[in-house]
Amino acid sequence: MGTAARSAIREDARIRTMTPRIFSQAELYDLPRDKAILLSVKAIILESGKALLLHSTDAHLHWELPGGLVDLRENLEDGLKREVREETTLEIEIGKILGVGDMWRLGFRFKDGTVRDIRVIEIIYQCRKLSESIALSKEHDKYRWATKDDMASLQMFPQHQSAAENALASH
């Protein structure tokens, strides 16, 4: 092999080592394909020493704070306003973050029928209602304004109950 050929091989090897490899996100982060991470935003809305709770119609039949999943193309605050409006028809003003939750839900069913284990990162905001009338979406069958004592007897997600109790104690 002549000098020119050896030089060309060395140059080709140098170029290959300088060219960055493009990784997919799944490769880069070693993401499992059967799991998902979702971002949820929730609102603590207080009135007369009570917090607004919604009773879910899903299989868990629990009480929860208004709010839900953020769409990919919206910011957190817009997502929370949209979710509260969809679930209750209330317009809100968003205040400070009161808590962040991190939980797993096994066997979560997506609208397309896919079932996956999901990790939900949830941000809970203090909010003030700007409208009065409440009309529920089909995701909830009733609502109530609950005191800290009321919450002790309700089936709730622990992070919702804790954040609501803390907000009521400092209000």
Number of domains the chain contains: 1
Confidence band of 26 (pLDDT split at 50, 70, 90): low
pLDDT tens-digit map of 115-139: 889 999 999 999 999 999 999 999 9
Confidence band of 100 (pLDDT split at 50, 70, 90): very high
**CATH code of 139's domain:** 3.90.79.10
Distance CA 161, CA 150 (A): 10
Cα 163 to chain centroid, rounded: 15
- Taking the whole predicted model, whether its pTM rises above 0.95 is answered as no
Q: Can you give the pLDDT at residue 80?
A: 98
In sequence order, the β-bridge partners of residue 145 are 52
Note down the domain range covering 65. Answer: 36-170
Q: How far is CA 26 from CA 30, 36, 72, 74, 124, in A?
A: 5, 11, 18, 23, 29
pLDDT tens-digit map of 29-70: 666 677 788 999 999 999 999 999 999 998 777 999 999 999
Cα dihedral 149→153→157→163 (10° resolution): 0
